[in-house]
Amino acid sequence: MPRAKLSVRPAGAALAIAVVLAGCASKEVDPTANWSPNRIYEEARDEANSASYDKAIALFEKLEGRAAGTVLAQQAQLEKAYAQYKNGDKAQAIATLDRFMKLHPTSEAVDYALYLKGLVNFNDNLGFLSSITQQDLSERDQKAAKESFEAFRELVQRFPNSKYAADAAARMRYIINSLAQYEVHVARYYLQRGAYVAAVNRAQAAIADYRDAPANEEALYILVRAYDALGLAELRDDAKRVLDKNFPNSAYPSQGFKGKDGPWWKLW
């Protein structure tokens, strides 16, 4: 006996219609579909100025695609990097800037890209410095500070007449002083805990790597104290002579670390 066939057309048709409707419902409408590149740019700027950085980033990315190959697309890329930086997306900001410089090595805005790259990491540098005097530390990451310095140095060397060069040079000096002071803080940490050899090593590193930094005054005093504690009288006296010669008015020999427990830096 032949088997009866059940008709599934109505159910199948209903399922197909449901799938189509669901697809239509889930498909988002792009409100910028009919916008000109200039309008997208203006809207992105408005969002950034209102601190709506997530929205600004999305619009700048859309503009990069819409205006590909134009100066406006390059501008969008730079402003996206700034929005990422302000939004706390520092790794993404650096990646955007590196990509910009790779794609547009002859752009007139390369100096700004280098400046912004240095600025992103410079603020990281301030972040690690802000907590140094609040706790005892033996090691901290200096990567951001050093990368900031390298970006500023490249800017100053390649574009000495850039309007950003003077500020970059000032920030470089600040970073050098910061890194030197970091080494000295660690050296003092070791000294105060009786790790005299470690204190000597870090103080010597500050003096050798950052020759003109103001922090070297304290570094030399730490050497005097550490060598004295180690019973190395000749090295102690040598360090004291260097301290007296380079910092004849130093208060360290008479006052020690008095007054050095608070924040040492001047906020930018």
What amino acid is encoded at 101 in this protein?
M
pLDDT surpassing 50 at residue 196: yes
User: Does residue 191 form part of some domain?
Assistant: no
pLDDT surpassing 60 at residue 186: yes
Kindly list the distances between the CA atom of residue 158 and the CA atoms of 63, 77, 112, 118, in Å, as whole numbers in the listed order: 30, 22, 12, 14
Per-residue H/E/C for 46-68: HHHHCCCHHHHHHHHHHHHHHCC
pLDDT surpassing 50 at residue 139: no
pLDDT surpassing 50 at residue 167: yes
The residue-averaged pLDDT of 227-231 equals 97
Scanning the structure block, which residue is given the tokens 């752009």?
107
Q: Please write the tens of the pLDDT for every residue from 71-94.
A: 999 999 999 999 999 999 999 999
Residue 29's pLDDT band (cuts 50, 70, 90):
confident
Can you tell me the distance from the alpha carbon of 263 to that of 268, in angstroms, rounded to the nearest whole number? 13
Range of the domain at 44: 35-90
The residue-averaged pLDDT of 9-16 equals 49
R_g of the chain computed on alpha carbons: 30
CB 228 within 8 A of CB 86: no
pLDDT surpassing 70 at residue 63: yes
What amino acid is encoded at 20 in this protein?
V
User: Does residue 67 form part of some domain?
Assistant: yes
Q: How many CB atoms lie within 10 A of CB 116?
A: 22
Can you tell me the distance from the alpha carbon of 243 to that of 118, in angstroms, rounded to the nearest whole number? 34
Scanning the structure block, which residue is given the tokens 């050296």?
187
Between 130 and 45, where is the model more confident? 45
Domain count for the chain: 1
pLDDT at 146: 87
User: In degrees, to the nearest 5, what angle opens at C-alpha 123 toward C-alphas 102 and 164?
Assistant: 55
pLDDT at 7: 41
pLDDT surpassing 60 at residue 189: yes
pLDDT at 267: 33
User: Does residue 45 form part of some domain?
Assistant: yes
The residue-averaged pLDDT of 138-155 equals 80
Going 121 to 127 to 130 to 131, the CA torsion angle's sign is negative
CB 40 within 8 A of CB 66: yes
pTM: 0.72
User: Does residue 56 form part of some domain?
Assistant: yes
The residue-averaged pLDDT of 120-137 equals 52
Contacts of 7 (CB under 8 A, 6+ apart): none
User: Does residue 53 form part of some domain?
Assistant: yes
User: Does residue 39 form part of some domain?
Assistant: yes
Helix (H) or strand (E) holding 31: none
pLDDT at 22: 52
Kindly list the distances between the CA atom of residue 212 and the CA atoms of 174, 215, 216, 218, 241, in Å, as whole numbers in the listed order: 12, 9, 8, 13, 17
111, two tokens: 């100096």
User: Does residue 24 form part of some domain?
Assistant: no
Give Cα 227 distance to the centre of its chain: 37
User: Does residue 70 form part of some domain?
Assistant: yes
The residue-averaged pLDDT of 230-245 equals 97
pLDDT at 229: 97
pLDDT surpassing 70 at residue 268: no
